[in-house]
Copies of this chain bind each other. A is one copy, B any other.
């Protein structure tokens, strides 16, 4: 390790991130809770069953079509709690700001956070602010930590996944990553593609209250849907077979991704989640999602089969493609 340097890919949510987490953080910090590597850590504290998660947001630019770093910093942490089965409640917010950042922009960000908190039903109850000199940080970074309650009967986890389970998503993939990239690079189509940034605790709460057959949920952020599918397959020791033609991607994002040689399955989302569910309840779950504003394009995109942790994509042309985790960082700073 002596001469190795941190690469952008160490932060892209793919293979090198995974190596950093297991080879460095787990090696030194190792404990039973952290070792589970879940979206939110579940713990007992003073009698209560709590979920906690933390996330840093460094998105560039801080204002983008469909949102801003403040909205994102709330939604991202709400969603990590929600997919773990927790009901998000209390948040901390920590601001890192570059000297010379306009106060009016800071107020826009803070007002956006406050609005998103109200919509998601969470409260910011502690915070911190640090200012660093010009050139020592790019405008503004935000860290949020979220606390939620874990209902006693919630039992999501890889151990519950079995062959035959179906795989669902709540809508079009790749819009967030493409919207941010388009705005940043000025490709000219930035008005057509809007980030899907949204707090998912409402729609997820409805699903979890109505259905018992949900095995696991994952939000599809860094690394996109494909990386999440690979992580689920590997952790559960099963294969996941996805149908390319069933996977929803919006026309504008599909077109832009083709033009740029990017795969929407690896682009980040900030308002999409994957659900693995028993086949008996899959149609009910799709119907419930479609009745919610954040699930109108929900659909079944694949199934779980016995296997050894691989993800396969049945292509539109009848072929089969092997999907691995994202490797390399084509799109840094998308969250």
Contacts and interface: CB of A to CB of B under 8 A. Distances in A.
Interface in A11-29: 11-12, 17, 20-21, 24-25, 28-29
Q: Which interface class (under 10, 10 to 19, 20 to 34, 35 or more) fits A?
A: 35 or more
A184 to B, nearest CB: 12
Contacts of A57: 130
Interface string A150-188: 100000000000000000000000000000000000000
Interface string A117-151: 10000011111111111011110010101010110
Contacts of A329: 131
B54 A94 contact: yes
A207 interface: no
Contact of A129 (B4, B10, B29, B43): B10
Most chain B CB inside 10 Å of its own CB: which residue of A40, A133, A135: A133
22 contacts: A1-B103, A6-B99, A8-B131, A10-B97, A11-B97, A12-B131, A28-B110, A31-B124, A33-B123, A33-B126, A34-B123, A46-B50, A54-B92, A54-B143, A54-B145, A58-B96, A58-B132, A96-B96, A132-B138, A136-B138, A137-B141, A141-B141
Interface of A: 1-12, 17, 20-21, 24-25, 28-29, 31, 33-34, 40-41, 43, 45-50, 52-58, 60, 89-90, 92-104, 106-107, 110-111, 113-114, 117, 123-133, 135-138, 141, 143, 145, 147, 149-150, 329, 332-333, 335
